[in-house]
Structure 1
Amino acid sequence: SLNCPVTDCVLTNNRHHLDSMTDYDALVFHIAEPWAYSLFEKVPTLRTPSQIYVAANMESPAHTKHLLEGDANFFNWTMTYRLDSDVVWNYNNVVELDAADDRAFVGPSQRPQWRRGAENYRNETLEELARRKDKMAAQFVSHCETFSGRDELVKAIQRLMPVDVYGKCGTMECPRGSPRCARMLTDEYRFYFAFENSLCRDYVTEKLYNAMESHIIPVVFGGVDYSKFVPPHSVIDVQQFGTVEELVDYLKFLADNPEEYVKYFWWKEHYRITGSQPFCELCRKLHDIGTREKSQHYRDIKAWWFDGACQARAKIEF
């Protein structure tokens, strides 16, 4: 059970749950992987006028192997991490701290209404924690040689300050997600490098939100307007710096000034991180008669997904 506010939906991956594929209100197609001919044999040849076909994907266009070349007028809705999707399927949401409903989120959104509060924020307990931290930055990464060039960026930063790289692409080990690693990040490290593998519009993965749940500042690298995803002055965006030298100088400034460092945690007194429930939103939309009546067919979903979605290179020089 997803504990959705709209409860009369059945979500299944069993094709034989109903007698006919035309009996389903919606079919969700995972478009990250290429569709083999054997799969097309299973795609229904009949579809009712009211049936919704949904294109779902959590991978970036750079990692989408299905080229969508023969899918004109096939899909009605999109269900991806992009904020202009019909159903937004993101990793996490930011909600008001005292919100009774996790679905009453502030961001991500095209135009989020964030509070302000970093400028005058003080927290002596966190300042003391910042003084005890004795390591600069950590990164957990398992995919090397990425489209974004994040490995080269980290190497350029490492020439100017220490960065400990954990996982398959580094020399250090700690099971990501374990309580021991979470404590280590909070107690020892000042910064967490949440660098994406692709510089694509709205492409933000769990790395960012995992860091935000600890008392460590996320340093982010992506093709994203982060103001749509997280509160102001909660992350450090690499792309806002002209050079690696400028970035490292700022990180060192924060390391030397705990009272400035802790201002990046001001938002924790107003917001919290929650999981997202995209299938609940899909259920709600399926019950919204107005939405169903406005359903379209994507004439060129290939162009919608691929054209202009990703940056060829980073703005920062390295």
Structure 2
Amino acid sequence: MRTVRRWKSITRRRMVNARQQIVGMIIFTFGVFILNAILQTKSLQSDSQGPDGSNLGNRPVTEMTFEPFPDVSTNCVKKVHIFGNLTDMASWLELSSWHKLFKRGEVFKHTADALCPLYNCTLRFTIGTNLTHLKGKDAVIFGALPKAFEGRLRDVISKEPEPGQTWFYYSTETPLRVVNWNRDLRIADLKYHKIMTYRSDSDIHIPFGYYQKRSKPLTDAEFNTKFIQNRTKLVAWMASNCAQIFWPRIPIVEQLGRRVQLDTYGRCGKLSCQPQRSEKCNHMLKEYKFYLTLANSECHEYITEKFWTQTIGQGIVPVVYGAPKSDFQKMGPPNSFIHLSDYSSLKEMAEHLKKLNKDHESYMKYLEWGRYYEAIPTFPIQINNLCRIVPHLYNGTTQELHRLGDSTWYKGCRNLPNKDILTPFWPREQMLAYFTWTPWGSKRDGINRGTDIKPF
């Protein structure tokens, strides 16, 4: 009998201890969650500020603040689903502020609330590739993670938006690269209501940068400090994408390097500067007078961040190609660049660069814009740009559904996406293409093809 009573007493003590341990674990976990949410929120508030850049010459529209918990005190709450996943998002440097928002806490890491003060509206984000998660959302954003379509494209194409739901297509990449990544021409069949791209005719324009007039011109001393430095080297080029290219870029660089002093950095070059895009590398570029800003694609208005951050933003004269010259004239500071299409051959361009190297007065004309204007980079595209979808959400009027292949973004390149771009374009193949290539928009445009005229 005593043994039974003793056993019952021991059992009760064990049960009490177990309950106390469970309660303690719950309190500890809840405390860690609250502390993590507060710290992540403070970090996001400091990391996610940036200019809106919706129109050239405009100043930032607003700031975005982040709420640590789902309960917010605004009259407007919109549910927005981003098609993609956090694993892919972590590998995209340009989406780092987006990733931090979702990673603010481990418990709700696939949901995040963001307050847009300009519209007094909260965007309640979710992320995932399960199409059932689109149900009940006010908006869906496709394309921000372009590789997310791989293996899922047929299901996405067959899906229809719910009544009152707005579909956005978002891209800072060219259609050539998006199709290449997914190896599927059916990208053209994706549906959307509104489009967000680097093109100025998009419903929401998200350029890599813009320029605006200074409040007052720089003094001679200020101008000399920023633009006149001891530049002892001639031309630099930095690239790590050697095969996802859609014109013969590497042969152009190699042929130019035979004619002028040219230092090449990155996986596609002979030199290195680590980490890439760092302040250290940007400072190193200030030793050069010219920088090759050669995009991976020949597409209208595709003027990448290298033009805004690594060249004109550093007081370096960019030698540009990718978008036609007319686009750089429209979107860039006046007389701030040299375009490949201005020359009949690389030899002619090389001679011009060497002439500018000796003629300081002529060289400085390419930098004179900096007295009166300033370059404003907007890349990486900050999460606050997504606030700009609010005025485009369903408001009771009929929304027109479009096919991506009919958009000016998709049709805006020198060549439409085709099956030939589904495989890597290695330097060897680029060299073969180089012999029949001419710069887009030049007087020689197209005349090489099928002839024995010397290549550019």
* TM-score (norm. length: structure 1): 0.77
Aligned CA distance change for structure 1 residues 260 and 230 (closer, same or farther; 3 Å): same
Aligned CA distance change for structure 1 residues 306 and 45 (closer, same or farther; 3 Å): closer
Aligned match for 2:357, one of 242, 251, 255: 255
Aligned CA distance change for structure 1 residues 295 and 274 (closer, same or farther; 3 Å): farther
Aligned match for 2:200, one of 69, 73, 83: 83
Aligned match for 1:245, one of 347, 350, 358: 347
Match of 2:212 in 1: 95
Q: Give yes or no for the alignment of 1:168 onto 2:282.
A: no
Deviation (angstroms), 1:289: 7.7
Q: Which has the higher contact order (CA 8 A, sep 6+)?
A: 1
On the 8 A contact 1:126/1:262 being kept in 2, the answer is no
Match of 2:106 in 1: none
On the 8 A contact 1:97/1:271 being kept in 2, the answer is yes
Q: Give yes or no for the alignment of 1:219 onto 2:319.
A: yes
Match of 2:367 in 1: 265
Match of 1:142 in 2: 240
Deviation (angstroms), 1:164: 0.2
Match of 2:68 in 1: none
Per-residue displacement from partner, 1:129-169 (whole Å, max 9, x unpaired)?
45x32211001110114222111111111111111000101
Q: Which runs of 5+ in 2 are unaligned?
A: 1-44, 49-62, 65-117, 417-436, 443-454
Aligned CA distance change for structure 1 residues 249 and 29 (closer, same or farther; 3 Å): same
Aligned match for 2:288, one of 156, 167, 189: 189
On the 8 A contact 2:166/2:394 being kept in 1, the answer is no
Aligned CA distance change for structure 1 residues 45 and 195 (closer, same or farther; 3 Å): closer
Aligned match for 2:177, one of 63, 66, 81: 63
On the 8 A contact 1:166/1:174 being kept in 2, the answer is yes
Select between 82-91 and 273-282 the one with higher mean Cα deviation. 273-282
Q: Which amino acid aligns with 1:161?
A: V
On the 8 A contact 1:21/1:44 being kept in 2, the answer is no
Aligned equivalents of 2:156, 2:322: Cα separation in 1: 37
Q: Which amino acid aligns with 2:196?
A: M
On the 8 A contact 1:127/1:262 being kept in 2, the answer is no
* TM-score (norm. length: structure 2): 0.56
Paired positions, count: 293
On the 8 A contact 2:357/2:363 being kept in 1, the answer is yes
Aligned equivalents of 1:292, 1:270: Cα separation in 2: 45
On the 8 A contact 1:137/1:162 being kept in 2, the answer is yes
Q: Larger % of helix: which? A: 2
Aligned CA-pair RMSD: 3.6
Q: Give yes or no for the alignment of 1:25 onto 2:138.
A: yes
Per-residue displacement from partner, 1:54-111 (whole Å, max 9, x unpaired)?
1112221221225463775831011111222211222222233339xxxxxxxxxxxx
Match of 2:27 in 1: none
Q: Which amino acid aligns with 2:258?
A: R
Q: Give yes or no for the alignment of 1:48 onto 2:162.
A: yes
Q: Which amino acid aligns with 1:226?
A: F
Aligned-partner SS, 1:213: helix
Q: Give yes or no for the alignment of 1:310 onto 2:414.
A: yes
Aligned equivalents of 2:226, 2:382: Cα separation in 1: 38
Q: Give yes or no for the alignment of 1:6 onto 2:119.
A: yes
Q: Which amino acid aligns with 2:367?
A: F
Aligned equivalents of 1:256, 1:291: Cα separation in 2: 61
Aligned CA distance change for structure 1 residues 73 and 181 (closer, same or farther; 3 Å): closer
On the 8 A contact 1:196/1:204 being kept in 2, the answer is yes
Q: Which amino acid aligns with 1:222?
A: G
Aligned-partner SS, 1:184: helix
Q: Which amino acid aligns with 2:363?
A: Y
Bigger radius of gyration: 2
Aligned CA distance change for structure 1 residues 280 and 125 (closer, same or farther; 3 Å): closer
Q: Which amino acid aligns with 1:69?
A: R
Percent of aligned pairs with the same amino acid: 25
On the 8 A contact 1:25/1:286 being kept in 2, the answer is no
Aligned equivalents of 1:266, 1:291: Cα separation in 2: 47
Deviation (angstroms), 1:199: 0.8
Aligned equivalents of 2:357, 2:177: Cα separation in 1: 36
Aligned-partner SS, 1:209: helix
Per-residue displacement from partner, 1:272-316 (whole Å, max 9, x unpaired)?
233436765553453368988474211x32143444522594426
